[in-house]
Amino acid sequence: MGTLLRLFSPLLDTNKFLLSSTFSVSSYRGKNLSLRKSHHRIQSRRNFGDFLDLKPELQPEDLNFDLPWFHPASDRSRFDVIIIGSGPAGLRLAEQLSSYEIKVCCVDPSPLSMWPNNYGSWVDEFESLGLEDCFDKTWPMSCVYINESKTKYLDRSYGRVSRKKLKGKLMEGCVLNGVVKFHKAKVWKIEHQEFESSILCDDGNQLKASLIVDASGFASSFIEYDKTRNHGYQIAHGILAEVDDHPFDLDKMVLMDWRDSHLGNEPYFRVSNSRFPTFLYAMPFDSSLIFLEETSLVSRPVLSYMELKRRMVARLRHLGIRVKRVLEDEKCLIPMGGPLPQIPQSVMAIGGTSGLVNPSTGYMVARTMALAPVLADAIAECLGSTRMIRGHQLYHRMWNSLWPIERRHTREFYSFGMETLLKLDLNGTRRFFDAFFDLDPCHWQGFLSSRLSLQELVMLSLSLFGRASNPSRFDIITKCPVPLAKMMGNIAIETF
């Protein structure tokens, strides 16, 4: 989770390329203690801090929810909107559309399965969306370890999103007005006519709608690009673990830990970490239960997953954290930055495949929750009106509601931030975040939440340069010109 999902999420939304198990913190208390005893003898023979031989013990459970299913024999196969995917993005959009009585069908191979992703969010972001009851746990403060001697304390509450609560709440909203159907299938093909599109599913059913929305995540092949997809990548390995003890304060989540003293006896990893730094993201639930995640903020090409895990082993050993049990684990890979999808095109997108990931941080879930109502309003205005705007005019309005010019400009700025971070080594990254978290809270909070205007982002940059150390200013002067020129060129192209 985390991740800069984390950074500043995280980590992120419909289908990240992610493997994990579903876990309820409260359920941990009631698990059979014999599980601990069965592992005790094995644990005593393991190297201290080495968890790589442990398998996650908890398996995901499907939601127990009475969904309105699409029945080919009795239901009409014509809808206003078909949404591919029932992750957070797809369900949030379906929930919002249901209030307009827009007829929706959500198509997913397993609509009731629990999402594999773990999500973290700033509490105020979810509160502003009426989702404050969708956390497993919250921490009143966060902290960032810049190095061995300097720590930043952030006076902003952070929470672990409860996947069960959030998915249940969105599903309840979907079915409330009786206009959303669910179909358990995989979409194989999409075809378009002038005013109508259709999907062909792996069960042989064909469904039609005025608009198809792809919310199936990063791996989708339905969205078209007209530029080279030169993504950066955020990769992370996380575990929810029972431990003997850990050194972290229970009232603070660790947003980033950039310390590298754990690599003192690992010369190869120390050199590698200096060039491609990783940090620890940690959520302490109590003295013996903690979520730990080693994260590469952004790299190109992607950092080796095995190296990431070995760095994490070295870190936990150095911190004196002995992992007794792994309750869940996850592998997270988030494409960041790169071009937006072709705008407009016949298939609409929301979530991971729509470009909503913050290119500098990896944040996406809260932003998707906030922008789904904007897209729903635009859809309702077109399909709910007596004029019934469809075809190319509909596609144009949909894409521009999600990506108006101003939002495209700010995304270019965040991509500029990502390209700059790609050029920084560990010391440069530390200096950057040392100055970044010294900014006025409205600046750093707005940046992490993707809510600053282009003018505000420019003011943030000037303030950051003014607060930066001389070595950090040297980094900015020597390493920013090429990304800056690229950003300005892209903004010019978008504008004209």
Cα dihedral value 297, 301, 303, 304, nearest 10: 160
Q: What is the pLDDT of residues 216-225, one digit of tens each?
A: 998 899 999 9
Query: pLDDT tens digits for 211-262?
Result: 999 999 988 999 999 988 889 999 999 999 999 999 999 999 999 999 999 9
Report, as an integer, the average pLDDT of 330-349: 94
Which tens digit of pLDDT belongs to each residue from 163-216?
999 999 999 999 998 999 999 999 999 999 999 999 999 999 999 999 999 999
- 212: which DSSP letter? E
> Across residues 333-360, what is the average pLDDT?
94
In the DSSP assignment, the letter for residue 87 is S
Average pLDDT, integer, range 68-91: 92
38-47 mean pLDDT:
44
* pLDDT reading at 287 higher than 60: yes
Residue 303 has pLDDT above 50, yes or no: yes
Q: Can you give the residue ranges of every domain in the chain?
A: 17-60+229-336, 78-120+161-226+343-404, 406-495
Residue 440: predicted pLDDT = 95
Q: In what order do the strands lie in the sheet with 158-161?
A: 120-122, 158-161, 135-139
Q: How far apart are CA 270 and CA 276, in angstroms?
A: 10
Of the ranges 192-196, 410-414, 435-439, 476-480, which one carries the lowest mean pLDDT score?
Answer: 476-480
Cα angle value 217/233/357 (rounded, 5°): 45
Instruction: Please give the average per-residue pLDDT across 263-278, as a whole number.
Output: 91
CB 470 within 8 A of CB 426: no
The predicted pLDDT at position 34 comes to 41
Is residue 32 over pLDDT 50?
no
The phi and psi torsions of 367 (rounded to 5 degrees) equal -65, -40
Q: What is the pLDDT of residue 44?
A: 40
Sorting pLDDT into bands at 50, 70 and 90, what band is 480? Answer: confident
Share of the chain above pLDDT 70, in %: 89
pLDDT of residue 47: 53
Q: What is the pLDDT of residues 353-405, one digit of tens each?
A: 999 999 988 889 999 999 999 999 999 999 987 668 999 999 999 999 999 99
Closest CA to 452 of 434, 468, 464, 470: 464
Q: How many helices (H) and strands (E) does the chain have?
A: 15, 18
pLDDT at 422 over 90: yes
Q: At what angle do helices 365-383 and 88-98 cross, to 10 degrees?
A: 40
Q: 39 pLDDT exceeds 50?
A: no
Q: Is 243 left (phi over 0), alpha (psi -120 to 50) or beta?
A: beta
pLDDT of residue 2: 44
Q: Is the pLDDT of residue 18 over 70?
A: no
pLDDT of residue 117: 79
Cα torsion 45, 47, 48, 50: sign: negative
For residue 4, pLDDT beyond 70: no
409: three-class secondary structure by DSSP? helix
**Per-residue pLDDT at 74 exceeds 60:** yes
Q: Identify the band that residue 8 occupies on the pLDDT scale cut at 50, 70 and 90.
A: very low
The pLDDT assigned to 27 comes to 53
245, with CB counted inside 10 A (0-12, 13-18, 19+), is exposed
Q: Give the per-residue pLDDT at 25.
A: 58
pLDDT band at 481 (very low <50, low <70, confident <90, very high): confident
Rg (CA), the chain: 23
- pLDDT category at 45 given cuts 50, 70, 90 is very low
- Rounded mean pLDDT of the chain? 88
Measured between alpha carbons, how far is residue 436 from residues 57, 186, 432, 441, 461 in Å?
Answer: 39, 44, 6, 10, 9
pLDDT tens, position by position, 153-167: 999 999 999 999 999
CATH architecture of 78-120+161-226+343-404: 3-Layer(bba) Sandwich (3.50)
Is residue 396 within 8 A of residue 433, CB to CB? The reply is no
User: Residue 28: pLDDT band by 50, 70, 90 thresholds?
Assistant: low
Task: Give the mean pLDDT of 434-447.
Answer: 95
Compute CA distances 257 → 89, 159, 242, whole Å.
Answer: 30, 18, 20
How far is it, in rounded angstroms, from Cα 186 to Cα 108?
6
- Pairing between strand 151-154 and 197-201? unpaired
pLDDT at position 219: 86
Mean pLDDT of 32-60: 59
Which residues contact residue 228 at a Cβ distance below 8 angstroms, ignoring those fewer than 6 apart? 339
Q: For residue 76, name the pLDDT band (cuts at 50, 70, 90).
A: confident
Q: What angle do CA 335, 18, 167 make, to 5 degrees?
A: 105
For residues 473 and 481, the answer to whether their CB atoms sit within 8 Å is no
d(CA 294, CA 278): 7
How much is the pLDDT for 146? Answer: 98
Confidence at residue 225, expressed as pLDDT on a 0 to 100 scale:
94
* pTM listed for this prediction: 0.89
